[in-house]
């Protein structure tokens, strides 16, 4: 299952040539991820406690501009014992414009050590696998 987040480019997102600057893509992926978390964990007031980012990558495939209609497709692509992977695709219609892959790990902040994902988080994440 995927979670969809519409994106509306702003003039301030563009560079001198009229294309969206790469910094905006990361901001959009962050916005979509926070919206995705709100869908996953609706009763939480903040980002799920106990998760830290291990890896974040963005690949750029197509230029986008301020007039484009864009959507970010977010989905969980892997669940491990202590971590999970979130893949997000920025699309203009069916065309893939950019892709973000992030890996998050469950962490015991008191011990500063990774820990297994609890059953609650694992069950919620599996709905989007």
Quick: pLDDT tens for 54-111.
Answer: 999 999 999 999 999 999 999 999 999 999 999 999 999 999 999 999 999 998 888 8
What pLDDT is attached to residue 112?
A: 87
What pLDDT is attached to residue 48?
A: 54
One DSSP character per residue, the chain reads --EEEEE---GGGB-TTSBBPHHHHHHHHHHHHHHHHHHHSTT-SSSPTTEEEEEEEEEE-S--BTT--EEEEEEEEEE-SSEEEEEEEEEETTEEEEEEEEEEEEEETTTTEE-PPPHHHHHHHHTT-
Contact assessment for residue 32 and residue 73, using Cβ atoms and an 8 Å cutoff: no
- % of the chain with per-residue pLDDT over 70: 95
**pTM of model > 0.75:** yes
Which of 48, 57, 41 has the alpha carbon at shortest distance from 109? Answer: 48
In whole angstroms, how large is the CA radius of gyration of the chain? 16
Task: Let me know how long the chain is.
Answer: 129
Contact assessment for residue 39 and residue 3, using Cβ atoms and an 8 Å cutoff: yes
Residue 53 in this model has a pLDDT that exceeds 70: yes
Residue 44 in this model has a pLDDT that exceeds 80: no
What pLDDT is attached to residue 45?
A: 57
């Amino acid at each position: 299952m995927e979670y969809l987040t519409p994106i509306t480019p702003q003039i301030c997102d563009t560079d001198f040539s009229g294309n969206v600057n790469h910094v905006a893509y990361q901001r959009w992926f962050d916005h979509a991820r926070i919206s995705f978390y709100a869908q996953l964990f609706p009763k939480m007031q903040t980002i799920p406690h106990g998760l830290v980012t291990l890896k974040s990558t963005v690949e750029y495939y197509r230029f986008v501009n301020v007039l484009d209609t864009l959507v970010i497709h977010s989905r969980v692509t892997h669940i491990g014992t202590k971590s999970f992977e979130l893949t997000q695709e920025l699309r203009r219609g069916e065309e893939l414009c950019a892709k973000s892959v992030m890996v998050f790990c469950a962490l015991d902040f008191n011990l500063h050590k990774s820990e297994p994902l609890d059953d609650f988080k694992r069950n919620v994440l599996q709905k989007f696998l």
